[in-house]
Amino acid sequence: MQANENISVVVRLLMGLHGSQTRADLGRGMGMSTISVSSKLSGTRPWMIQDLDRLAEHFAVPPDTFLRPLDTLVNVPVARKETRTPAMDGP
């Protein structure tokens, strides 16, 4: 897997772990347009070094997270949003 593809896979994983985060949310967090984020995630535009810093800040992970082999990501700390399901709340 090439670096850009690896970065995109990790970004998608982190977006999923952070709940209902969209490409628009990620773009706002990184200071770029949704179109730019989509182009990078799809592989039509490459991720740049500056993007890794912005991604790391946005997801609160070390910048090298996006370059690690995927099988080493099990120990990456992720600050998850708490979600509550109304049906599970007690009286």
In the prediction, which pLDDT does 27 show?
93
Question: Is 48 within 8 Å of 37 (Cβ atoms)?
Answer: no
What is the pTM for the complete model shown?
A: 0.75
Work out the angle at residue 81's Cα, subtended by the Cα atoms of residues 33 and 69, and round it to the nearest 5 degrees: 70
In the prediction, which pLDDT does 81 show?
46
What is the 8-class DSSP label of residue 43?
A: T
In the prediction, which pLDDT does 83 show?
39
| Domain positions in the chain | 3-66
Write out the two tokens for 81: 């949003």
Instruction: List the chain pLDDT tens, one digit each, 91 residues.
Output: 688 999 999 999 899 887 768 999 999 999 999 999 999 999 999 999 999 999 999 999 999 999 888 777 766 555 544 434 444 444 4
* CA-only gyration radius of the chain, Å: 14
3-66 carries CATH number 3.40.50.720: no
Contacts of 90 (CB under 8 A, 6+ apart): none
Question: Is 43 within 8 Å of 4 (Cβ atoms)?
Answer: yes
